[in-house]
DNA sequence: GTTCTAGAAC
DNA sequence: GTTCTAGAAC
C-alpha cells in the first residue's frame, strides 16, 4: 500500500469540499491495473491511495480483508482509493462498495483487454509484486477468464468505464489523473461495447455543476461519451419532467398538432449546437435553408424542430428566419418540449424522431441521444446495430422502431433517424476547431441526410403529377428488415440519405454522391456552374471532365436517381434530355468541328440523379485516370441515349450493364488495340486517328460529318 | 465520384 | 528505383 501523505488528517480539512472516490479496478492479471494506478497517481493532484492485494502484506500478497481494512482507513483520511485487484465477479466487488459514506462515489474501471494480451504481458513480466509471471501466469489467466463478470450499475456503482484497448486505458488514466480534489465525473456506463445495463443517471447534475461551479475544472473528454452531443436536454431532465411539466409551448402554431399519426411528422432537435458548440447563427441559416429545400418534397408530411428549453435561442432564430422566408407554418414549426414525450406530454404526434447521436451510435453522453435511447429502450440499440455500427459526420441511419419498444406504443414513434453532426468542441472527438467552411458543409449534409431519410419513409410511390414529379404519399411504416446488397452500400452498412426499403431499385447514396441531386433540386443555388435550366433538366459541365468536352444533362424529376428507376412513362423526359444534349453537342461542334460526341448513361452511376453524359470522344483529359473511367465510357456499361429510348419504347424496360465490365481490357475505341495500362492507353489515344466505325454504324456518333438521328 | 497511398509490378 | 493499380477514406 502506498499512502499519500500530502493531505491533512481527519478534521484538518473540511470533508464537504472533497469528492472522495473509490475506484474498483476490474481486470485479469496483465490487463494493466497496477500501471493504471501508478500512472493516475503520478499525474494526479488528488491524494490517491492504491490498495494492492499483491503487495499489501509488507510487499507480499495479502488478503481481501486486509484490502478492505486499508481502504477504509484511507477513506477516513480523506483519500480517494484505487482498489488494485482483479475483482472479476460481483461477489468480489460487493464489500468494497459498502465502504465510505453516501457521499463517496463508487466507480468501476473495467480493463477488458484481450485475454491473449493479458497472458502475453503476464508471462513476460518480471518482478511482479504477486510473483505471478512466467508459465504459471498463463494458467491463472486462462483459469480466471471464464469467470469474468462485467459490473453493472445495479451493483452499486455510480459510474462504470469500460476499456477495451490501450487507447481506452490511456484516456481513462488521463481522465482520472486530471481530477482535482473537488472534481467529479458523470455517472453512468461509458464505453461499453455490448450492454444490458447501459443506463445513464445523474448526468444532469454534472452539467449543472459545470455551469454553476466557478472553480470547477473542466472534465476531460470522456471515452464513454464518444462525442455524443449533450444538448440542453439531458436524460435527467427527461426523467424529471415526467408527470410534472405536461404543459408545452407551441411557438408556431401547428395545424392539427394533436392530429393522429396519419400525417407523418419528423421531430428533430438542433444538430451540433449544444455540446458540439456549433455557432447558432450559422446553424439556424442552414436549418432554414434545408427545411426550405425539403419541405416541398415530403407531400403532406411535416417537420417540427424541438427544443426542451423555454427561450431557446436556436429555436427563436430558426422561427424568425423561417417566417422571413415565408416557410409554410403548416408544414414546418418549432416546439418547446421533451422530444421523448411529444405525444404524451405535448399532444404532438411525431412518428419519426431524429436523434443527434455519437459516431458509435451508442447511448451515453447525455443530451437528446441519452434520452432517446433510454425512452426507446434496449430494442432500439439492437435495431440500430442491425443497420449500422457507426456514422461519419454528416451521415444518418434510419432505424424502424420495433413495436416492442415502449416508445412505439406510448408515443407512436415508428422510426428513429440517428444523425451525426459536425463537432466544434475541442473536448469532443473529431473537433473541426474553427473550420466553419467544413463545419457548415457537414451540418448541411447532416440535415440534408436527415430529411432525405425522412423523405424515404414517406416515400413517393410512383405517382407523378403533371410536371412529371413524383408526388409524395405517406406509406404506413414498414418494419420489414431489408438489407441493401448494392455495391454502393458503404462498408459500415450505413444508409445515407435515401433509404429505400421497397422494390429492387434499392440503393444508398453516400454524401459525396449527392452533388448532382442537389443541383437538380436547387439550380438557383448553383448558378455559377449551371449552363442551362428548364422545368425538367439542368445542364452543367462535368466537374471532372473525362474529355475535352464533357457535359451532364441532369433530370430534375424527384425519384429518378438512375436508369434503374426509369420506366416507359419516362420516355418523354428521356427524349427531352436527349434533345438538350444533342443541342449542346452541336453547339460545341460549331465551336470546334474536330469534336465528335456520344450521348449516353452509365448503367450504374456513382452520382445520384439521372444524368445524361454528353462527352467528346477524344478522351483527352487529365481527369481520365483509371481503368474504371475508361471502361465506364467504352464498354456496354455505357448505354447510348438513342438505344435507351428505343429499348423503353419497344420493351418498356431497360437492360442495364453491370460492373463486370470493369474487369475488361483497355481497348482503344478507334483501332480496337489493347493497351497494357492507362498511361499507355492515353498515350495511344493522342495519336490514333482511326474512325469510330462502331459508333458511326450504329448511329451513336454526333460529328460535323453527319447528323445524329433519334 | 475524388484523393491518397501502400504495395505490386516492372 | 519508378510506375501503376487498387483499396480505403472521404
- Please write the tens of the pLDDT for every residue from A388-423: 778 888 888 888 887 778 888 788 898 899 999 999
Nucleotides, chain B, CB distance < 7 Å: 1-3
CA A546 to C1' B5, in angstroms, rounded, equals: 23
Nearest to A226 by CA among A33, A13, A393: A393
Sign of the C-alpha dihedral computed for residues A581, A587, A593 and A594 taken in this order: negative
pLDDT-derived band of residue A669, with 50, 70 and 90 as boundaries?
very high
- A186/A332 Cα distance (integer angstroms): 36
The nt closest to A662 (CA vs C1′) is C6
CA A643 to C1' B9, in angstroms, rounded, equals: 40
What CA–CA distances, in Å, run from A438 to A99, A432, A433, A450? 50, 8, 10, 18
* Mean local confidence (pLDDT), A415-433: 88
CA A630 to C1' B9, in angstroms, rounded, equals: 21
A679 strand C contact, CB < 7 Å? yes
| Residue predicted with more confidence, A261 or A661 | A661
| pLDDT beyond 60 at A347 | yes
Residue A158 C-alpha cell reads as: 455510480
Nearest to A207 by CA among A193, A192, A228: A228
The nt closest to A606 (CA vs C1′) is B1
* Mean local confidence (pLDDT), A428-456: 86
Packing angle of the helix pair A367-376, A378-387 (nearest 10 deg):
110
pLDDT averaged over every residue in chain A: 79
User: In 10 A of CB A426, how many CB atoms?
Assistant: 11
CA A351 to C1' C10, in angstroms, rounded, equals: 32
Given this model, what pLDDT does residue A369 score? 93
The nt closest to A680 (CA vs C1′) is C4
Given this model, what pLDDT does residue A2 score? 45
CA A264 to C1' C10, in angstroms, rounded, equals: 33
Protein residue nearest nucleotide C4, by CA to C1': A677
CA A210 to C1' C3, in angstroms, rounded, equals: 57
Task: Identify whether the C-beta of residue A141 lies closer than 8 Å to the C-beta of residue A115.
Answer: yes
A143 strand C contact, CB < 7 Å? no
Domains and CATH numbers, chain A: 15-212 (3.40.50.300), 253-457 (3.40.220), 521-702 (3.30.428.10)
CA A483 to C1' C4, in angstroms, rounded, equals: 36
The nt closest to A543 (CA vs C1′) is B1
Given this model, what pLDDT does residue A416 score? 93
CA A391 to C1' B9, in angstroms, rounded, equals: 36
* Mean local confidence (pLDDT), A141-167: 87
* Mean local confidence (pLDDT), A546-565: 96
CA A678 to C1' C1, in angstroms, rounded, equals: 21
Mention every residue, 6+ apart, whose C-beta is less than 8 A from residue A62: A53, A55, A56
| pLDDT beyond 50 at A182 | yes
| Residue predicted with more confidence, A328 or A180 | A328
* Percent of chain A scoring above 70 in pLDDT: 80
Residue A153 C-alpha cell reads as: 450499475
Residues with CB under 7 A from strand B: A 510, 512-513, 543-544, 602, 605-607, 623, 625, 628-629, 632
| pLDDT beyond 60 at A476 | no
Given this model, what pLDDT does residue A70 score? 84
| Residue predicted with more confidence, A530 or A187 | A530
Tens-place pLDDT, residues A592-620: 999 999 999 999 999 999 999 999 999 99
Tens-place pLDDT, residues A186-225: 788 888 775 432 222 222 222 223 332 333 333 333 333 4
3-state secondary structure of A13: coil
The nt closest to A430 (CA vs C1′) is C10
Nearest to A454 by CA among A246, A303, A245, A641: A303
User: For strand C, which residues in window 68-107 of chain A come within 7 Å by CB?
Assistant: none
A623 strand C contact, CB < 7 Å? no
The nt closest to A488 (CA vs C1′) is B1
Q: Which helix (H) or strand (E) holds A121?
A: helix A115-124
CA A679 to C1' C3, in angstroms, rounded, equals: 10
CA A618 to C1' C2, in angstroms, rounded, equals: 28
User: For strand C, which residues in window 432-491 of chain A come within 7 Å by CB?
Assistant: 491
User: For strand C, which residues in window 511-550 of chain A come within 7 Å by CB?
Assistant: 512
Protein residue nearest nucleotide B1, by CA to C1': A606
Tens-place pLDDT, residues A537-551: 999 999 999 999 999
CA A677 to C1' B8, in angstroms, rounded, equals: 14
| pLDDT beyond 50 at A571 | yes
Given this model, what pLDDT does residue A703 score? 96
A678 strand C contact, CB < 7 Å? yes
pLDDT-derived band of residue A229, with 50, 70 and 90 as boundaries?
low
The nt closest to A393 (CA vs C1′) is C10
The nt closest to A629 (CA vs C1′) is B1
User: For strand C, which residues in window 368-397 of chain A come within 7 Å by CB?
Assistant: 392
Q: Which helix (H) or strand (E) holds A302?
A: strand A302-307
- DSSP for A148-182? -----GGGT-SEEEEE-SHHHHHHHHHHHHT--TT
Nearest to A582 by CA among A612, A547, A618: A612
| Residue predicted with more confidence, A189 or A246 | A189
Lowest-pLDDT range of A102-116, A208-222, A628-642: A208-222
Given this model, what pLDDT does residue A536 score? 96
* Mean local confidence (pLDDT), A339-362: 90
Tens-place pLDDT, residues A676-705: 999 999 999 999 999 998 899 889 999 998
The catalytic site residues of A sit at 611
Residue A3 C-alpha cell reads as: 499512502
Given this model, what pLDDT does residue A17 score? 60
Task: Identify whether the C-beta of residue A631 lies closer than 8 Å to the C-beta of residue A658.
Answer: no
Tens-place pLDDT, residues A39-74: 998 888 888 889 988 888 777 778 888 888 888 888
Given this model, what pLDDT does residue A435 score? 84
3-state secondary structure of A264: coil
| Residue predicted with more confidence, A137 or A644 | A644
Nucleotides, chain C, CB distance < 7 Å: 3-6, 9-10
The nt closest to A679 (CA vs C1′) is C4
Given this model, what pLDDT does residue A127 score? 73
* Percent of chain A scoring above 90 in pLDDT: 40
The nt closest to A626 (CA vs C1′) is C5
Protein residue nearest nucleotide C5, by CA to C1': A626
* Mean local confidence (pLDDT), A625-653: 94
- A107/A82 Cα distance (integer angstroms): 9
Tens-place pLDDT, residues A247-266: 232 222 222 222 233 588 99
Protein residue nearest nucleotide B9, by CA to C1': A677
A626 strand C contact, CB < 7 Å? yes
Amino acid at each position: 500500500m502506498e499512502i499519500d501523505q500530502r493531505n491533512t488528517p481527519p478534521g484538518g480539512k473540511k470533508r464537504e469540499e472533497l469528492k472522495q472516490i473509490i475506484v474498483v479496478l476490474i481486470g485479469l492479471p496483465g490487463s494493466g491495473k497496477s500501471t493504471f494506478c501508478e500512472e493516475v497517481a503520478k499525474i494526479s493532484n488528488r491524494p490517491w491511495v492504491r490498495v494492492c492485494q499483491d503487495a499489501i502484506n509488507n510487499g507480499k500478497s495479502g488478503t481481501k480483508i486486509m484490502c478492505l481494512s486499508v481502504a477504509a482507513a484511507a477513506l477516513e483520511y480523506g483519500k480517494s482509493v484505487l482498489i488494485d485487484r482483479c475483482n472479476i465477479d460481483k461477489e468480489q466487488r460487493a464489500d468494497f462498495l459498502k465502504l465510505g459514506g453516501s457521499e463517496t462515489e463508487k466507480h468501476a474501471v473495467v480493463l477488458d483487454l484481450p485475454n491473449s494480451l493479458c497472458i502475453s504481458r503476464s508471462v513476460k513480466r518480471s518482478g511482479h509484486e504477486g510473483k505471478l509471471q512466467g508459465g504459471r501466469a498463463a494458467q491463472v489467466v486462462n483459469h480466471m477468464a471464464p469467470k469474468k463478470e462485467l459490473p453493472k450499475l445495479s451493483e452499486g456503482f455510480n459510474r462504470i468505464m469500460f476499456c477495451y484497448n490501450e487507447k481506452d486505458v490511456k484516456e481513462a488514466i488521463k481522465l482520472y489523473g486530471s481530477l482535482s480534489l473537488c472534481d467529479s465525473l458523470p455517472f453512468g456506463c461509458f464505453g461499453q461495447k455490448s450492454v444490458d445495463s447501459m443506463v445513464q443517471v445523474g448526468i444532469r447534475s454534472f452539467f449543472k455543476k459545470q455551469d454553476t461551479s466557478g472553480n470547477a475544472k473542466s472534465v476531460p473528454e470522456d471515452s464513454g461519451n464518444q462525442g455524443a452531443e449533450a444538448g440542453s436536454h439531458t436524460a435527467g431532465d427527461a426523467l424529471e419532467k415526467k408527470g410534472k411539466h405536461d404543459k408545452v409551448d407551441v411557438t408556431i402554431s401547428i395545424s392539427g398538432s394533436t392530429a393522429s399519426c396519419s400525417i407523418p411528422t419528423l421531430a428533430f432537435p438542433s444538430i451540433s449546437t449544444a455540446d458540439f458548440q456549433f455557432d447558432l447563427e450559422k446553424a439556424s441559416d442552414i436549418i432554414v435553408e434545408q427545411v426550405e429545400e425539403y419541405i416541398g418534397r415530403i407531400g403532406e408530411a411535416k417537420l417540427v424542430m424541438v427544443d426542451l428549453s423555454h427561450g431557446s435561442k436556436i429555436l427563436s432564430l430558426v422561427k424568425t428566419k423561417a417566417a422571413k422566408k415565408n416557410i409554410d407554418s403548416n408544414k414546418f414549426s418549432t416546439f418547446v418540449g421533451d422530444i421523448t414525450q411529444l405525444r404524451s406530454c405535448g399532444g404532438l404526434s411525431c412518428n419519426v424522431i431524429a436523434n443527434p447521436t455519437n459516431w458509435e451510435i451508442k447511448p451515453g453522453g447525455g443530451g437528446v441521444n441519452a434520452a432517446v435511447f433510454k425512452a426507446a429502450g434496449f430494442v432500439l440499440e439492437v435495431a440500430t446495430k442491425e443497420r449500422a455500427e457507426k456514422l461519419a459526420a454528416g451521415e444518418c441511419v434510419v432505424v424502424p422502431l420495433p413495436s416492442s419498444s415502449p416508445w412505439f406504443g406510448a408515443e407512436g414513434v415508428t422510426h428513429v433517424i440517428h444523425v451525426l453532426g459536425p463537432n466544434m468542441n475541442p473536448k469532443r472527438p473529431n473537433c473541426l476547431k474553427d473550420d466553419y467552411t467544413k463545419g457548415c458543409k457537414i451540418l448541411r449534409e447532416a440535415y440534408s441526410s436527415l430529411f432525405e431519410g425522412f423523405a424515404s419513409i414517406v416515400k413517393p410511390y410512383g405517382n407523378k403529377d403533371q410536371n412529371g414529379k413524383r408526388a409524395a404519399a405517406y406509406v404506413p411504416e414498414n418494419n420489414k428488415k431489408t438489407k441493401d446488397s448494392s455495391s454502393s452500400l458503404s462498408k459500415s452498412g450505413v444508409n445515407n440519405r435515401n433509404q429505400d426499403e421497397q422494390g429492387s431499385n434499392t440503393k444508398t447514396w453516400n454524401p459525396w454522391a449527392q452533388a448532382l441531386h442537389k443541383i437538380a433540386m436547387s439550380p438557383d443555388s448553383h448558378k455559377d456552374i449551371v449552363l442551362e435550366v428548364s422545368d425538367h433538366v439542368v445542364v452543367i459541365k462535368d466537374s471532372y471532365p473525362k474529355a475535352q468536352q464533357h457535359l451532364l444533362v441532369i433530370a430534375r424529376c424527384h425519384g429518378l436517381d438512375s436508369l434503374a428507376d426509369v420506366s416507359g412513362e419516362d420516355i418523354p423526359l428521356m427524349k427531352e434530355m436527349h434533345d438538350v444534349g444533342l443541342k449542346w453537342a452541336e453547339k460545341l461542334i460549331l465551336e470546334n468541328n474536330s469534336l465528335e460526341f456520344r450521348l449516353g448513361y452509365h448503367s450504374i452511376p456513382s452520382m445520384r440523379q439521372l444524368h445524361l453524359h454528353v462527352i467528346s470522344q477524344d478522351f483527352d483529359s487529365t481527369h481520365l485516370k483509371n481503368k474504371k473511367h475508361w471502361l465506364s465510357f467504352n464498354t456496354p456499361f455505357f448505354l447510348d441515349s438513342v438505344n435507351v429510348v428505343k429499348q423503353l419504347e419497344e420493351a418498356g424496360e431497360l437492360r442495364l450493364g453491370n460492373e463486370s465490365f470493369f474487369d475488361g481490357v483497355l481497348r482503344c475505341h478507334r483501332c480496337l488495340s489493347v493497351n497494357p495500362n492507362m498511361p499507355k492507353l492515353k498515350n495511344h489515344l493522342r495519336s490514333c486517328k482511326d474512325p469510330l466505325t462502331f459508333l458511326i454504324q450504329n448511329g451513336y456518333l454526333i460529328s460535323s460529318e453527319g447528323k445524329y438521328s433519334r
